[in-house]
């Protein structure tokens, strides 16, 4: 079976760009920051080559996904989504433009790279492939396929049940890195027990926190990494998750 390597381009571009920044102090009061784009390209290629080897797909032509500039559908749900994030590296924009020319790149307006990865990994046309998502983002472990986590140096296989459990867990715990709160007072340990009760248990947890099922739904829709069936491919619109 051939392997389809799906790459989180946001992670690679950020890591490669940040790695080549150099700060120079000229005197007590003057500092400059510089970066070499060619060095960033080399770092990007090195990480990608290493990742393909670790994914046991060294000869595969990767598909690299990026998040476009501007707001995504999650900002409409939660205006402060990802607010307060660090700046991007100096060469980030140029590095992404180069990667789009150099590789097969996929960008969908209004969707994050994570969502595009999830859609491609669950696309019916890709059933014939072994799918590997290369990322450093734990959120992608919602998607049932092989995940190469380059931050934690591990290759794992995620089942449908494991992916759904993580999605519901993040509905409760939120994600400080993405700046959405989840259910107040619910940490990962308590969330694990609540997830076993399914959606009714999650709604009860929100109601105990003086919130509503609608509040829980908003957090679920923020947390969910899109799959093929979560997107209307003709209208190019998200089909928001509904409890079954």
Residue 133's CATH number? 3.40.50.1010
pLDDT computed for residue 1 by the predictor: 86
pLDDT at position 123, please? 98
pLDDT at 221: 98
| pLDDT tens digits, 102-139 | 999 999 999 999 999 999 999 999 999 999 999 999 99
Residues 32, 78, single domain; the answer is yes
Q: How confident is the model at residue 46 (pLDDT cuts 50, 70, 90)?
A: very high
| One domain, residues 29 and 148 | yes
DSSP 8-class letter at 169 = H
- For position 125, what pLDDT does the model report? 96
- Quickly count: other Cβ atoms within 10 Å of residue 51's Cβ: 23
Same domain, 152 and 179: no
Its pTM stands at 0.95
| Beta-sheet pairing, 3-8 with 63-65 | parallel
Contacts 24+ apart (CB under 8 A), 209-212: 209/183, 209/184, 209/185, 211/183, 211/184
Residue 84 reports pLDDT greater than 90: no
The Cβ of residue 3 has, within 10 Å, a number of other Cβ atoms equal to 18
The mean of the pLDDT values for the chain is 97
Domain range for 86:
3-159
Domain C-terminal end among 139, 159, 179: 159
Sort strands 231-232 and 237-238 into parallel, antiparallel or unpaired.
Answer: antiparallel
Choose among 130, 175, 173, 127: nearest CA to 155: 130
| Burial tier of 128 (Cβ tally within 10 Å: 0-12, 13-18, 19+) | exposed
What was the pLDDT predicted at 244?
A: 85
CATH classification of the domain holding 184: 1.10.150.20
Kindly tell me the burial class for residue 172, based on how many C-beta atoms sit within 10 Å of its own C-beta (0-12, 13-18, 19 or more): buried
Q: Which of 137, 159, 181 is the last residue of a domain?
A: 159
> Parallel, antiparallel, or unpaired: how do β-strands 130-135 and 3-8 relate?
parallel
pLDDT in tens, 131-188: 999 999 999 999 999 999 999 999 999 999 999 999 999 999 999 999 999 999 999 9
pLDDT, average across residues 191-212: 98
Q: What is the pLDDT of residue 36?
A: 98
| Statement: residue 85 has pLDDT above 90 | no
In a domain, 228, yes or no: no
Does a structural domain hold residue 145? Answer: yes
Whether residues 84 and 175 share a domain: the answer is no
Is residue 77's pLDDT more than 90?
A: yes
């Amino acid at each position: 079976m051939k392997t389809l390597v799906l790459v989180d381009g946001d992670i690679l571009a950020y890591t490669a760009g940040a790695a080549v920044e150099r700060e120079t102090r000229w005197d007590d009061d003057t500092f400059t920051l510089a970066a070499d784009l060619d060095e960033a390209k080399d770092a990007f290629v090195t990480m990608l080559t290493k990742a393909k080897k670790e994914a046991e797909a060294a000869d595969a032509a990767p598909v690299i996904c990026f998040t476009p500039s501007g707001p995504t559908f999650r900002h409409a749900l939660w205006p402060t989504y990802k607010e307060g994030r660090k700046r991007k590296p100096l060469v980030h924009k140029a590095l992404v433009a180069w990667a789009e020319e150099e590789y097969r790149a996929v960008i969908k307006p209004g969707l994050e790279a994570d969502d595009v990865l999830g859609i491609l990994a669950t696309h019916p046309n890709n059933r014939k492939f072994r799918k590997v998502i290369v990322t450093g983002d734990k959120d992608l472990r919602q998607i049932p396929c092989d995940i190469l986590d380059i931050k934690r140096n591990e290759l794992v296989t995620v089942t449908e049940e494991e992916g759904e459990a993580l999605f519901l867990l993040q509905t409760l715990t939120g994600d400080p890195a993405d700046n959405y709160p989840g259910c107040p007072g619910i940490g990962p340990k308590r969330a694990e027990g609540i997830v076993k009760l399914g959606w009714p248990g999650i709604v009860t947890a929100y109601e105990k926190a003086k919130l509503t099922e609608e509040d829980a739904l908003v957090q679920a829709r923020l947390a969910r990494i899109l799959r093929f069936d979560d997107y209307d491919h003709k209208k190019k619109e998200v089909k928001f998750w509904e409890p079954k």
